[in-house]
């Protein structure tokens, strides 16, 4: 059995911090589960353009609020605790956080943890003025 605690991951190689988000990798490919699991905080006031061309991802919000806009059509879905969205079509999207948003994300195939942002399909766009939250 694998047991891990987010607070034990902070500050280790299993944590990545970017200008728009920080992610703690609870499970990665090398853990052998067939999916990866991440606890990701999206920072308040940020907008991130994301396109996981090679992965399917499901995201469950446990804290905070924001929205996801699906491209190119532009449907906007509100994100709040209890909401799950699944990128079942490798959907290109904008992720916006109104407050700090804490998300639990799973990927199939699993991330190795070595993906860099562009290869990962993640392109950060800095908000001009992040809001507190
Ligand atoms: C919101 C989101 O896509 N989180 C995924 C986790 C993150 N890209 C990571 O751990 O690399």
Q: Give the pLDDT of the chain (133 residues) as one tens digit per residue.
A: 999 999 999 999 999 999 999 999 999 999 999 999 999 999 999 999 998 888 899 999 999 999 999 998 889 999 999 999 999 999 999 999 999 999 999 999 999 887 766 655 665 555 455 444 4
As a whole number of angstroms, the distance between CA 35 and CA 11 comes to 23
Contact between 77 and 2 (Cβ < 8 Å): no
pLDDT score, position 119: 54
| Helix, strand, or coil (residue 119) | helix
- On the CB side of 21, how many CA atoms lie within 13 Å of its CA? 26
Q: How far apart are the first and last CA of the chain?
A: 36
Residue nearest to atom 11 of ligand 1 (CA): 23
Residue nearest to atom 1 of ligand 1 (CA): 40
Quote the ligand 1 centre to 94 CA distance (angstroms). 13
pLDDT score, position 8: 95
Quote the ligand 1 centre to 73 CA distance (angstroms). 23
pLDDT score, position 115: 74
Contact between 66 and 97 (Cβ < 8 Å): yes
The number of helix segments (H) and strand segments (E) in the chain equals: 2, 11
Give the position, in ligand 1's atom list, of the atom nearest the Cα of 57.
3
pLDDT score, position 53: 84
Task: Provide the whole-model pTM.
Answer: 0.88
| DSSP H or E segment with residue 6 | helix 6-9
């Amino acid at each position: 059995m694998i047991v891990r605690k987010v607070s034990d991951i902070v500050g280790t190689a299993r944590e990545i911090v970017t200008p728009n988000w920080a992610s703690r990798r609870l499970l990665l490919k090398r853990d052998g589960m067939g999916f990866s699991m991440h606890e990701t905080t999206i920072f308040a006031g940020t907008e991130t353009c994301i396109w996981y061309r090679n992965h399917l991802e499901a995201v469950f919000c446990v804290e905070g609020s924001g929205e996801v806009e699906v491209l190119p059509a532009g449907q906007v879905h509100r994100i709040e605790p209890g909401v799950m969205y699944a990128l079942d079509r490798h959907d290109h999207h904008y992720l916006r956080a109104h407050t700090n948003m804490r998300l639990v994300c799973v990927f199939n195939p699993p991330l190795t943890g070595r993906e860099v942002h562009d290869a990962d399909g993640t392109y950060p766009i800095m908000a001009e003025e992040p809001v507190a939250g």
